[in-house]
Copies of this chain bind each other. A is one copy, B any other.
């Protein structure tokens, strides 16, 4: 029998779907009870506290229906792990709330679950529990990531003080550049360069190995998701300080610089989705930060300083302020 295109997608029943695709992802977590109970339990070691973060991604907003299912799964997980990394926490597990659109079939779910499985192994955490519901709307995924950290050691946004230096991991703007390439920019780039940037947009790399060293080093920290200027603006706001960024010190990748030419810095620092870590630390920590970068294999660059005052100031090579029209991404 062949299927006509008007048939609904082939999909297992709710309980069979959970048993086949998701229960195996919980196998290593005792407190997940094989997803055959109503709750999950998690033991937080003595001296540690729980760190929790929820983030949703929505078809048509954060990803496209045609994106590979495994990549959607990984991005949903990684944007949360990136927050845990920036705060110094070690991920332990996650809960998945999956609102399944009418077009999702078993093949999609199989690829989605395979993507989760690969990243679970890579980042050493397990599915602890979840919820699956059919939605008449776009596919919507909400991941609640749970981690642990020694009590009181979470690196917060508030904590930057005048005199601190400002650091950022990796390179900034690549994800935004990747999105621009997907939208048609980048005719002058090689295919390899385009793929490199698109990969940075589709699959962020949570900086967990460096992040776990931050509680001993950083005064304030966050992951760059709304755009470097907007996110450092959050630190400035809640720390009640001014953050000064020297534009020429912001690390750009070669494909990003090539794509955007003279506009590269301004576009890079206002693009979102970097999932790098931006943090502040006293100047006395510079040598230890360089060691941490080497030990973790995550590049770290110093890009500015913290002063008394408020807001964000961006300086050109001559030390003159540059105006930024639109600091970053907001949903509304």
> Is the pair A38, B157 in contact by a Cβ cutoff of 8 Å?
yes
Partner among B131, B156, B158, B238 whose Cβ is within 8 Å of the Cβ of A142: B131
Which A residues lie at the B interface, using CB under 8 A? 11-15, 17, 31, 33, 36-44, 46, 49-58, 60-62, 83-84, 86-87, 89, 95-97, 99, 128-138, 140, 142, 144, 146, 149, 151, 154, 156-158, 222-223, 234, 238, 330-332
Report yes or no: A61 in contact with B14, Cβ–Cβ below 8 A: no
Q: Is the CB of A53 within 8 A of B129?
A: yes
- Give the number of copies in the complex: 2
- A89 near B39 with CB under 8 A, answer yes
A51 to B40, CA, bound (A): 6
Question: Once the chains are docked, how many angstroms separate the CA of A22 from the CA of B278?
Answer: 26
* Interface-central residue, A52, A95, A135, A146, by most chain B CB under 10 Å: A52
Residues of B within 8 A of A51 (CB): 39-41
Q: List the 5 closest pairs (A to B, CB-CB), nearest first.
A: A137-B137, A97-B142, A142-B142, A54-B95, A42-B50
- In the complex, what residue of chain B is closest to A152 when comparing beta carbons? B41
A156 to B62 Cα, complex, angstroms:
37
Partner of A99, one of B14, B140, B234: B140
B61 touches A50 (CB 8 A): no
A13, A44, A46, A86 interface centre (most CB from chain B within 10 Å): A44
Contact present for A36 and B238 (CB under 8 Å):
yes
Task: Identify 26 residue pairs between A and B in the complex whose beta-carbon atoms are under 8 Å apart, listed by A's number.
Answer: A33-B158, A37-B157, A38-B83, A38-B86, A38-B87, A39-B52, A39-B83, A39-B87, A39-B89, A41-B51, A44-B49, A50-B146, A54-B95, A54-B129, A56-B97, A56-B131, A56-B133, A56-B142, A57-B133, A58-B136, A62-B133, A97-B142, A99-B140, A134-B332, A140-B140, A144-B144
| In the complex with contacts A50-B50, A142-B131, A11-B332 CB distance below 8 A | yes
Instruction: Tell me whether A135 and B137 are in contact in the complex, defined as CB-CB below 8 angstroms, given that A38-B157, A332-B14 are known contacts.
Output: yes
> Considering the chains assembled together, what is the distance between the CA atoms of A128 and B52 in angstroms?
9
- In the bound complex, residues from chain B placing their C-beta under 8 Å from that of A33 are 156-158
Least Cβ distance of A103 to chain B in Å? 13
Of A46, A54, A57, A89, the most chain B CB neighbours within 10 A belong to A54
Across the interface, do B133 and A58 meet the contact criterion of CB distance under 8 Å?
yes
Give CA–CA (A144, B151) in the complex, Å.
22
Known contacts A43-B151, A144-B144: A223-B38 contact under CB 8 Å: yes
> Among A134, A222, A331, which residue has the most Cβ atoms of chain B within 10 A?
A331
Residue of B nearest to A34 (CB): B238
Among residues of B, the one whose C-beta sits closest to the C-beta of A45 is B44
If the complex has contacts A129-B54, A330-B14, are A60 and B136 also in contact, measured as CB distance less than 8 A? yes
Contacts of A99 in B (CB 8 A): 56, 58, 140, 142
Report chain B residues within 8 Å CB of A140: 56, 99, 135, 137, 140
Residues of B within 8 A of A17 (CB): 332
Q: Are B132 and A331 in contact (CB under 8 A)?
A: yes
A17, A58, A86, A87 interface centre (most CB from chain B within 10 Å): A58
CB-CB nearest in chain B for A47: B46
